[in-house]
Structure 1
Amino acid sequence: MRRRLLPLLVVLSLFVADALGACAEVDSMTEAVAGENFYLGCISCKRREEVSARTTVDWHFRPQGEPEFRHIFHYEHPTADVLHEDFSGRLEWQGTNHEDIQIGAVTLRNVTFNDTGAYLCTFHRTLLLQVRNEKVTVKKVVELSVVAVANRELTAVIAEIMMFVLIVVLQLWLIVVLAYCYKKISADHERREAKKALKAQEQALLESKDDCDVHLE
C-alpha cells in the first residue's frame, strides 16, 4: 500500500510546488520487485520559496559490495542524460520540469537483482540572490534492495483486518436493524388487529342494542 501511495504523494508534492510554492519532503521507498518499474524518490525543498534558483540533479549508483559510486544520470532542464550503459533506456526523469528543481525523482524500469545497492541523489542549486548568487549542494541516499516477490506490508495487513472487522460490524448492525424493523412491524400489525377487534365488538354491541330496541317497540 505504501508503494502505491508514494508516487501519488510525490505527484501531489510536485503539483503543490508548482502551483502554490510549497514543498514537502517524502522519503523514497527502498524495496523494488524484479521485473517491475521502481520510483526512486528524491526531494529537496528550498528554505526560502520566494528566492528563485537554478538547479541540476545527478544520480550515482554503488552496486552492493562495491566501494565506489558510478555516475548514471544527469538532469539540467530540459535535458536528461543517462550516463551509464547498464541503465541505458531504463531511467526516466519524473522530477520538476523547470530550472528551479525541488523534486529530483527518476523511474528505474525493468528492475533486476543487479540494481541492488545505494543510489545517491545530488542537488546542485544556485540561489539567485540580489547581492550575489549562493551555491547549495544537497545529497540524499536511497539504499535499494530487490526482491522476487513484493512483501506484504504491515499497513496492507492492517487495512485488510480493518475491512474484515467493518464488514462484520455492518452485518451485525444490519441484523439489529432488521430485528428492530420486524418487531416494529409486528407491533403495528398487532395494534391494527386490536383496533379491528375493538371495532367489531363495538359494531356487535350497536347491533345488539338495535335488536333490543325493536323488541321493546
Structure 2
Amino acid sequence: MTEAVAGGGCISCKRREEVAGFAIVDWHYKVPEKEDFIHIFQYEYPLPTVLHEKFDGRLQWHGTMGTKDVQIGAIFIHNVTYNDIGTYRCTFHRTLNLPPGEKHVTIIKEIELTIVEEANPELTAVISEIMMYVVIIVLQLWMIGVLIYCYKKIYAENEDREAKKAARAQKQ
C-alpha cells in the first residue's frame, strides 16, 4: 500500500474566456538521478495517448474533457510504485485565435512526486474527525439537558395539578 504525494497541479487558465483557442498537453517524466525527461503522455482533443511502455495502462486523463480548449491537464497514475518517484513536467501548448493572427503560448509546470510507505492523514481530516466527536458529545449533553428540563417542567405541572385537585376537594 503506497500513497503518491504530489507537489502541485497542472492547470492553465486563459485570462480572457472569450478568446477562442486550443491546447495540447504533454507530460514528461525524469528519474531522480537522470538529466533527461522522457515523453510519457499527450492529450490532444479528443484523444489521450500514453507514449511510454512504463506507464502503459496506468495513466488516465483527468483533465478538461469535451473541448479543444483544455484548462486542466491532470493525469492519474494507477498502481503507483517506488519506481514512479521523480519529476513530472506538464507542458501546455496553447494556440489563441486573436484578430491579427494566432498566438502561441507555452506554459510549463514541474511536480515532484514522492512515495510514502504509509498514508499520512491530512491535518484537516484529523481536525474534522476530532470536531465531529466533540459535536456529538456536546449534542448528547444538550439532549440530556433538554430531557431533564422537560421532565422537571412536566413534574412541576403534575404537582400543580394535584395541588389544585386537593384544594378543590377541601372546598367541597
Q: Which has the higher strand share?
A: 2
For residue 110 of structure 1, report the CA deviation from its aligned partner. Answer: 0.8
In structure 1, how many angstroms separate the alpha carbons of the residues matched to 2:119 and 2:133?
Answer: 22
Amino acid at match of 2:80: V
Give the Cα separation in 2 of the matches to 1:35 and 1:166.
31
In structure 2, the residue matched to 1:115 is: 84
- 2:60 corresponds to: 92
Q: Deviations over 1:144-171 (max 9, x none)?
A: 1112221111111101110111011111
TM-score of the aligned structures, taking structure 1 as reference length: 0.74
2:68 is equivalent to residue 68 of structure 1 = no
- Per the alignment, residue 45 of structure 1 pairs with 13
In structure 2, do the counterparts of structure 1 residues 110 and 42 end up closer, same or farther at CA, with 3 Å as the change threshold? same
Q: Hey, which bits of structure 1, 4+ residues long, moved more than 3 A?
A: none
Equivalent residue for 2:146, pick from 177, 184, 187: 177
TM-fit CA distance, 1:196: 0.6
Matching of residue 80 in structure 1 with residue 48 in structure 2: yes
Q: Which runs of 5 or more residues in structure 1 are unaligned?
A: 1-32, 204-217
Identity %: 58
Q: Which has the higher helix share?
A: 1
Deviations 1:174-210 (A, max 9, x none): 121011011101110111101110110111xxxxxxx
Structure 2: distance between partners of 1:157 and 1:35: 17
Question: Residue 125 of structure 1 contacts residue 136 of structure 1 at CA under 8 Å; is this kept in 2?
Answer: yes
Q: What SS is found at the alignment partner of 1:133?
A: strand
Query: What are the Cα deviations for residues 13-64 of structure 1, in whole angstroms up to 9, with x where unaligned?
Result: xxxxxxxxxxxxxxxxxxxx6388x9x8421110111001011000011122
Choose the corresponding residue for 1:58, options 11, 26, 32.
Answer: 26
Partner amino acid, structure 2, of 1:80: P
Which has the greater radius of gyration?
1
> Any stretches of 5+ residues in structure 2 without a counterpart?
none
SS in structure 1 at match of 2:101: coil
Say how many residue pairs are matched.
Answer: 169
CA deviations 1:56-95 (Å, max 9, x no partner) are 0000111223222111111111122111111111111121
* Secondary structure of the corresponding residue to residue 98 of structure 2: coil
